Amino acid sequence: MTSPVLIELARQEDIRLLPDIEQAASLLFSGTAHEAEVQAGTLPVFVLEACRANGLLWVARLKEIDQAVGFAAVLDHGETAHLHEMSVDAACTRKGIGSRLLRHVLHALAQRGYHAVTLSTYRDVPWNARFYARFGFRLSPPEAWSDALMAIRQKEEREGLDTCARVLMEIPLSGFSEEG
């Protein structure tokens, strides 16, 4: 049985732990075509701090040890939110933590009035695009990209990510339920 997990907004003291969680999550990419680019770095602390200041940084915390083992960092794009990073420590995967975290975040964003959530992920890694599709995320074709999504894709190109292997996805939040 897994330890009970609490999903909540990140605390200030969580910020210092999140790069380690992201780095530990990147170990899942060992042996994939994207290993080097994923393991090359983590979100800058100032991005995590900005997400937290905007109330858009959540952590998955193991209750028994009161420690964050996963997080979701979201960027505000007006009526749309962008799931910039979601990571769960590789030692805690396959326990439903990522699913609970994502459902909670989508529900919270729907409650705040966001119309949709977008994300960018790898199409060919089983726990990426297919994972998000299970929750209702659908591929967003280039002709439907907002200026914000185009800017995200351009930033990925500048950072050297393999954008041919990445997809942009979107989920409408109207009627989204945390249980759904």
Domain membership of residue 149 (yes or no) is yes
Residues 6+ apart with CB under 8 A from 45: 15, 16, 19
* Contact present, 152 and 163 (Cβ < 8 Å): no
Residue 179, in any domain of the structure: no
pLDDT of residue 34: 56
71 touches 10 (CB < 8 A): yes
Mean pLDDT, the chain, rounded, equals: 87
Residue 136: inside a domain: yes
Q: Which 8-state DSSP code applies to residue 136?
A: T
Whether 62 is covered by a domain: the verdict is yes
Q: Would you state the pLDDT for residue 1?
A: 38
Q: Which residue segment(s) compose the domain that 150 sits in?
A: 5-172
Q: Find, among 125, 127, 124, 114, the residue nearest to 171 by Cα.
A: 114
pLDDT tens-digit map of 26-46: 766 666 655 555 556 788 899
Q: Which residue, 123, 153, 156, is CA-closest to 33?
A: 123
57 domain residue, yes or no: yes
Per-residue pLDDT tens over the stretch 71-118: 999 999 999 999 999 999 888 878 889 999 999 999 999 999 999 999
Structural domains in the chain (count): 1
Burial of 167 (0-12, 13-18, 19+ CB in 10 A): buried
Residue 180 belongs to some domain of the structure: no
In a domain, 178, yes or no: no
Residue 53 in domain: yes
Percent of the chain's residues with pLDDT above 70 = 88
Strands (E), 42-165: 57-62, 67-77, 80-88, 116-122, 138-139
CATH number for the domain spanning 62: value is: 3.40.630.30
